[in-house]
Amino acid sequence: MSSLADFSDITQHDRSLAEWTWLKVGGPAEHLVEPRSIDEVAAVVRCCHETGVPCRVLGSGSNLLVRDEGVQGVVLRLSEEAFGEVSVEGTSVTAGAGALLSHLISQSVRSGLSGLETLVGIPGTVGGALRGNAGGRSGDVGQSVQSVTVMTATGDQFVRSEDELSFGYRHSSINELVVLECTFSLSEGDIDETLKRMRKLWIMRKATQPMAHQSAGCIFKNPRGISAGSLVEQAGLKGESIGGATISERHANFIITTPEATSSDVLALIEQARGQVAKQFGVDLELEIGIW
């Protein structure tokens, strides 16, 4: 049986995760492991399974709050270039899970392909975007998926095709431990038209969201189509602060942080918003961000 000591050359212990999250708060990972190949991912995952060590995968940290006490067990970071490659073949685009969504979008658009441009401005990696079916009012990532290569907690790899997957509002049926790769089926489009659409969406996002600040995007899901941001605003919480965390004046479903903020500040503000919205409107807000 392997042990985590076998992976010492790719492991950092008690490694702070704050710098890798967009909120820039939170504690360390007990073991931060950066595999160099898919075989190494499988070996680490298998080792965790056999030794009962919890294992999670970090994307680009744009939809994540890490608690101040940090994370027990292994955090895998697919940072090697091999996990971030994007290749185009006809109207199909294949991207590694570690590729940034923005990179995937620009490569696709540059190749004259349309379908992903509506995701412009959404942060995150391809893996993270697929798991939570990232998107907005103009579409989501799941709409273009042809197949996804995943790895189970026991290190087994397989491909799930479109008809074995379902995507809903900020939800996907992908429940395996690791997303490795995804192939998207796009359509040929006019580059200038696609760029125009992208520019329009980008301007809209910049006008309505606090994009220049440290944030994790929307904190809550929209309950039954109602805007969570407008509920938090109507509860009178725009601009509300706890420590270094503030509910954005621009969009009340965003919490922005200063360099002094702690994860506890953000959690306390989330609880305050949830409590007030429940009390005033009888609506239970569900988190969109992940909390570790």
Our CB check for ligand EPU shows the closer of 249 and 260 to be 249
**Candidates 78-86, 145-153, 157-165, 213-221; binding stretch for ligand EPU (CB under 6 A):** 213-221
Q: How many residues does the chain have?
A: 292
Contact map string, positions 11 to 30, toward ligand EPU, x by CB under 6 A? --------------------
Q: Minimal distance in Å, beta carbon 254 to ligand EPU? A: 7
Q: Minimal distance in Å, beta carbon 232 to ligand EPU? A: 7
Distance separating the N- and C-terminal Cα atoms of the chain: 28
Our CB check for ligand EPU shows the closer of 49 and 170 to be 170
Site for ligand EPU in 251-280 (CB under 6 A): 251-253
Our CB check for ligand EPU shows the closer of 137 and 224 to be 137
**Candidates 171-179, 184-192, 246-254, 270-278; binding stretch for ligand EPU (CB under 6 A):** 246-254
If one asks whether residue 233 binds ligand EPU (CB under 6 A), the answer comes out as yes
The site for ligand EPU, by CB under 6 A, has a size of 16
CA dihedral 118, 144, 141, 122 (to 10 degrees): -40
Q: How far apart are CA 226 and CA 233, in angstroms?
A: 12
Helix residue ranges per DSSP H, 29-100: 38-51
145: alpha, beta or left, given left = phi > 0 and alpha = psi -120 to 50?
beta
Site for ligand EPU in 133-172 (CB under 6 A): 136-137
202, with CB counted inside 10 A (0-12, 13-18, 19+), is middle
271, with CB counted inside 10 A (0-12, 13-18, 19+), is exposed
Chain residues binding ligand EPU by CB under 6 A are 136-137, 208, 217-218, 221-222, 227-230, 233, 251-253, 288
